[in-house]
């Protein structure tokens, strides 16, 4: 199963979502939280914060101790189904 880590960023009741455009012109893309793959030696939190900065240029945030939520899903990767786990 493929694993990524991400951030649910909120401030004053507002939540940040990113619109990811699709390579295929037939698809409109999707909305999602900032997230990405774990680099060697990174913790989940380090990965989430790095991805937040890479995707949004937001670098200084407060992390809520003890919050951890995981979602799992599958998607089509050509002719195979790929399992994905994302930790927020």
CATH number where 6 lies? 3.90.79.10
Show the domain range for 39: 2-87
Question: Whole-prediction pTM value?
Answer: 0.84
Closest CA relative to residue 18, chosen from 3, 9, 73, 70: 9
52: exposed, middle or buried (C-beta count within 10 Å: 0-12, 13-18, 19+)? buried
Residuewise pLDDT in 10s, the chain (88 residues): 999 999 999 999 999 999 988 766 566 788 999 999 999 999 999 999 999 999 999 999 999 999 999 999 998 878 999 999 999 9
Backbone phi, then psi, for 39, in 5-degree steps? -85, 155
- Give me the number of domains the chain comprises: 1
């Amino acid at each position: 199963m493929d694993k990524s880590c991400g951030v649910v960023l909120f401030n004053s009741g507002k939540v940040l979502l990113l619109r990811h455009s699709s390579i295929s012109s037939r698809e409109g893309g999707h909305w999602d939280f900032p997230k990405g793959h774990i680099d060697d030696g990174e913790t989940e939190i380090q990965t989430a914060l790095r991805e937040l900065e890479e995707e949004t240029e937001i670098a200084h945030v407060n992390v809520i101790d003890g919050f951890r939520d995981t979602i799992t899903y599958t998607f089509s990767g050509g002719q195979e189904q790929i399992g994905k786990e994302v930790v927020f």
